A and B are shown apart, each in its own frame.
Chain A
Amino acid sequence: MKVGCWLPAGFARGARSTDGYSCCAPAALFGVREREKALSRLSPTLPASGRGKGALMTSAVEFQAVSRRFGELQALDDISFTIAPGEFFGLLGPNGAGKTTLISVLGGLVRPNSGRAFVMGHDVTTDYLNSRRQLGVVPQEVVFDPFLTVRETLRFQAGYFGLYRVDDWIDEILHHLGLSDKADKNMRTLSGGMKRRVLIGQALVHKPPVIVLDEPTAGVDVELRHALWTFISRLNKEGHTILLTTHYLREAETLCDRIAMLKSGRVVALDHKHRLLSPFEMIVARLTAARVPDAWQTRVRRMEGQSFLIELNHFEELETLLAALRADNIPIEDLQVEQTDLEQVFLRLTGSDQESPAANSGGSSS
Chain B
Amino acid sequence: MNERMDFAAVKTGEKKSWQKPWHMLFYKEVLRFWRVGFQTVAAPVVTALLYLLIFSHVLESRVSVFDGRVSYTAFLVPGLVMMSVLQNAFANTSSSLIQSKVVGNMIFLLLAPITPWGFFLAYVLAGVLRGMVVGLGVWLAALYFAPELWRPAALGWVIVFGFLGGAILAMLGVIAGLWSEKFDQLATFQNFIILPLTFLSGVFYSVHSLPGFWFKVSHLNPFFYIIDGFRYGFFGLSDVSPWLNLAIVGAVCAGLTWGTWALVARGWKLRN
Contact = CB atoms under 8 A, between A and B. Distances in A.
A160 B112 contact: yes
A44 B9 CA distance: 11
Contacts of A111: 267, 271-272
A176 interface: yes
A58 B173 CA distance: 43
Interface of A is mostly: loop
Contacts of B61: none
Interface stretch (B10-18, B140-148, B228-236): B10-18
Interface string B43-59: 00000000000000000
Contact of B5 (A5, A133, A172): A172
A354 interface: no
A132 B112 contact: yes
Contacts of A2: 1
A143 B104 contact: yes
Given A160-B112, A162-B21, A176-B5, 15 more contacts: A3-B1, A4-B2, A108-B110, A108-B111, A109-B107, A109-B110, A109-B111, A137-B111, A143-B105, A156-B24, A159-B21, A159-B23, A160-B25, A164-B15, A238-B5
Contacts of A44: 8, 11-12
14 contacts: A4-B4, A4-B5, A6-B3, A107-B111, A143-B104, A147-B32, A157-B108, A159-B21, A159-B25, A160-B109, A162-B17, A162-B21, A163-B17, A207-B9
B1 A160 contact: no
B113 A5 contact: no
B6 interface: yes
A207 B112 contact: no
A197 to B, nearest CB: 14
Contacts of A108: 110-111, 271
B120 to A, nearest CB: 15
A48 to B, nearest CB: 15
A145 B112 contact: no
Interface of A: 1-6, 41-45, 70, 104, 107-111, 128-130, 132-133, 135, 137, 139, 141, 143-147, 156-157, 159-166, 169, 172-173, 176, 202, 204, 206-207, 235, 238-240
Contacts of B269: none
A172 B6 contact: yes
Given A157-B108, A161-B113, A202-B108, A238 B24 contact: no
Contacts of A161: 21, 112-113
Contact of B19 (A4, A41, A159): A159
A207 B111 contact: no
Given A108-B110, A163-B15, A5 B3 contact: yes
Contact of A169 (B9, B31, B110, B114): B9
B2 A70 contact: no
Contacts of A204: 5
A164 B1 contact: no
A127 to B, nearest CB: 10
Contacts of A128: 113
Nearest to B28: A156
Contacts of A207: 7-11
B151 interface: no
B62 interface: no
Given A163-B10, A202-B108, A238-B7, A146 B103 contact: yes
Contacts of B32: 147
A69 B217 CA distance: 46
A6 B4 CA distance: 8
Contacts of B271: 108-111
Contacts of A235: 5
